């Protein structure tokens, strides 16, 4: 997912830098990967279908995705089921993103764009499609890793799915 214009800085902070290698600043037109915010959009899409009666939160996940979660697991795990404790999981959101696809027949990117992103007035937020590269002015994403700031791989799974 991509979003334009979310450079975050305050009057007392130094200007945001889009690329630490060049020092290029972030501008109001800079594009950014929104990462795990995609999970919120996915959850919204699922809950819209719950409200329409197409998905039941307490139904077994195998009812909707029998080929991906077959057998006993597909019968025991529910759409809502949190498990014994909270744990951050991209895989769960891959499955959650497939639910609206299954019940609407639309690709998740199309459904989320038309029923979540556009109604929210997010005019510059979009799925990049099969090309993982962002056209136009963009900021690079950096993550702290072992005390260093590390740019992520351009072809990461999160960059290409409903997980962020």
Would residue 90 count as lying in a domain? yes
Structural domain count, the chain: 1
**Confidence grade of residue 12 (pLDDT, cut at 50, 70, 90):** low
pTM of the model: 0.76
Token look-up 């740019």 returns: 151
The burial class, CB within 10 Å (0-12 / 13-18 / 19+), for 19 is middle
- Using one digit for the tens of pLDDT, what is the confidence trace for 99-144? 999 999 999 999 999 999 999 998 888 887 777 677 778 887 766 6
Would residue 26 count as lying in a domain? no
Would residue 55 count as lying in a domain? yes
Would residue 75 count as lying in a domain? yes
The domain of 97 spans 37-117
Q: What is the pLDDT of residue 7?
A: 45
Would residue 49 count as lying in a domain? yes
Would residue 150 count as lying in a domain? no
Would residue 145 count as lying in a domain? no
Contacts (Cβ under 8 Å, ≥6 apart) of 70: 62
Between CA 46 and CA 68 the distance in angstroms is 17
Would residue 41 count as lying in a domain? yes
Query: For all residues of the chain together, what is the average pLDDT?
Result: 80
What is the CA 106 to chain-centroid distance, rounded? 17
Beta-bridge partner residues of 3: 32
């Amino acid at each position: 997912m991509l979003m334009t214009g979310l450079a975050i800085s305050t009057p007392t902070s130094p200007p945001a830098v889009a690329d630490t290698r060049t020092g290029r600043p972030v501008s109001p037109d800079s594009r950014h990967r929104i990462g795990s915010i995609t999970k919120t959009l996915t959850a919204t899409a699922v809950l819209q279908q719950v409200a329409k009666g197409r998905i039941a939160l307490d139904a077994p996940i195998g009812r909707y995705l029998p080929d991906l979660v077959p057998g006993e697991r597909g019968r025991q795990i529910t759409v809502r089921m949190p498990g014994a404790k909270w744990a951050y999981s991209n895989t769960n959101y891959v499955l959650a993103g497939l639910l609206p696809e299954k019940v609407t027949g639309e690709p998740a990117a199309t459904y989320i764009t038309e029923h979540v992103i556009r109604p929210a007035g997010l005019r510059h937020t979009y799925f990049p499609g099969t090309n993982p590269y962002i056209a136009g002015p963009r900021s690079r994403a950096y993550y702290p890793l072992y005390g260093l700031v590390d740019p992520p791989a351009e072809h990461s799974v999160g960059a290409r799915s409903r997980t962020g």
